[in-house]
């Protein structure tokens, strides 16, 4: 963009100022580098204000513009250099070196131009001429009387927080939530027993008030997880073994984390299966029950007492 006919902006106040339209254009059209562009441009506005009195032949003389902008913005100097080059390509600023009569460099000049609509369209190519910067309805053809969002905006001033929640527009509700599945009785009973046993063993880690939510979440997980492994022959005995294992019983307080992977790429449940298979190969694995769990806890207390 040609800068010869551009008009430098002028100030008559001591504090620095910035055209908010350019910041909005950064936010909407340059989301990837928005923070850096915003910080560097605000720093340039502040520099322009601070150095406005240090002029040489009508241009502000700044020693090392890149380093100064990096100091003002708190951004790395390499990033600052790329940002100000991009600003000049967009035509919103201009800078260069200043030489004295002996052709020696005495600093750099910085010019911030008045923002015009063409600048905003270059920075934000998707900008629509009819776009409202403060409130946008994308493509919904809603009658004014039925526009829940407009009603919310008007009534929010005189409404309580509970009333505002009730008026929430369904168009903005999350649609990516997984539908709840109907839980089978065996999964419900096993999950309830498992969580209650963990609560008896570690009441501080798994509090009683958290058990209902843990049971519901774990049941929903198992209903989907049983598509990968059979519940009666694989999932149930493996998790029963995990409750007896000295390591795994302290690492399972919800089934929702069974698909988390370690550094090797194995899931938690796959590692439990490996240990369970190793246990079966070494000795016969007896079915686990709450009664044996209570006996084991009593034995642990007796051993701790004698120690």
pLDDT of residue 5: 66
Is the model's pLDDT at 114 over the cut of 60?
yes
Is the model's pLDDT at 193 over the cut of 80?
yes
pLDDT band at 38 (very low <50, low <70, confident <90, very high): very high
DSSP letter for 102, please. Answer: T
Give the Cα separation of 8 and 60 in Å (integer).
12
- CATH architecture of the domain 20-123 equals Orthogonal Bundle (1.10)
Q: What percent of the chain has pLDDT over 90?
A: 17
pLDDT band at 175 (very low <50, low <70, confident <90, very high): very low
Is the model's pLDDT at 174 over the cut of 50?
no
Helix (H), strand (E) at residue 94: strand 93-99
Task: Convert the pLDDT of each residue in 93-110 to its tens digit.
Answer: 888 888 878 877 778 888
Q: Residue range 47-51: average pLDDT?
A: 81
SS3 content of the chain, % helix, strand, coil (to 5): 55, 10, 40
Q: Both tokens of residue 242?
A: 């995990």
pLDDT of residue 37: 93
Task: Convert the pLDDT of each residue in 217-238 to its tens digit.
Answer: 999 999 999 888 999 999 999 9
Higher pLDDT, 124 or 26: 26
Is the model's pLDDT at 40 over the cut of 90?
yes
Is the model's pLDDT at 291 over the cut of 90?
no
Half-sphere exposure of 24 (CA within 13 A, CB side): 13
Give the Cα separation of 126 and 100 in Å (integer).
44
pLDDT of residue 153: 42
pLDDT of residue 111: 85
Give the Cα separation of 2 and 242 in Å (integer).
71
Q: Both tokens of residue 154?
A: 């008007």
All structural domains of the chain with their residue ranges: 20-123, 185-306
Report how many helices (DSSP H) and strands (DSSP E) the chain contains, helices first. 12, 4
Is the model's pLDDT at 117 over the cut of 50?
yes
Burial class (CB in 10 A: 0-12, 13-18, 19+), 193: middle
Lowest mean pLDDT among 4-13, 142-151, 257-266: 142-151
pLDDT of residue 307: 40
Q: Residue range 29-55: average pLDDT?
A: 84
């Amino acid at each position: 963009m040609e800068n010869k006919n551009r008009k430098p902006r002028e100030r008559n106040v001591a504090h620095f100022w910035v055209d908010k339209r350019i910041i909005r254009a950064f936010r909407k059209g340059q989301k990837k580098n928005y923070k850096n562009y915003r910080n560097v441009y605000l720093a340039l506005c502040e520099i322009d204000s601070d150095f406005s009195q240090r002029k040489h032949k009508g241009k502000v003389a700044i020693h090392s513009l890149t380093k100064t902008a990096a100091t003002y913005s708190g951004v790395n100097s390499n990033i600052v250099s790329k940002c100000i080059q991009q600003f000049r390509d967009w035509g919103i600023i201009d800078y260069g070196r200043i030489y004295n009569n002996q052709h020696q460099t005495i600093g750099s000049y910085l010019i911030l131009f008045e923002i015009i609509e063409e600048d905003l369209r270059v920075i934000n190519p998707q900008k629509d001429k009819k776009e409202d910067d403060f409130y946008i309805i994308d493509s919904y053809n809603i009658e004014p009387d039925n526009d829940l969002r407009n009603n919310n905006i008007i009534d929010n001033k005189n409404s309580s927080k509970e009333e505002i929640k009730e008026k929430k527009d369904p168009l903005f509700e999350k649609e990516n939530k997984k539908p709840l599945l109907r839980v089978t009785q065996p999964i419900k009973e096993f999950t309830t027993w498992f969580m209650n046993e963990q609560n008896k063993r570690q009441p501080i880690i798994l509090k009683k008030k958290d058990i209902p939510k843990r049971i519901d979440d774990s049941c929903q997980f198992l209903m989907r997880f049983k598509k990968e492994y059979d519940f009666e022959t694989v999932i149930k005995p493996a998790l029963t073994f995990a409750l007896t294992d000295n390591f795994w019983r302290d690492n399972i307080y919800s089934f929702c984390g069974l698909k988390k992977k370690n550094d090797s790429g194995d899931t938690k449940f796959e590692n439990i299966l490996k240990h369970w298979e190793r246990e079966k190969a070494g000795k016969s694995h007896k079915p686990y029950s709450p009664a044996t769990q209570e006996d084991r806890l009593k034995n642990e207390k007796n051993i701790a007492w004698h120690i």
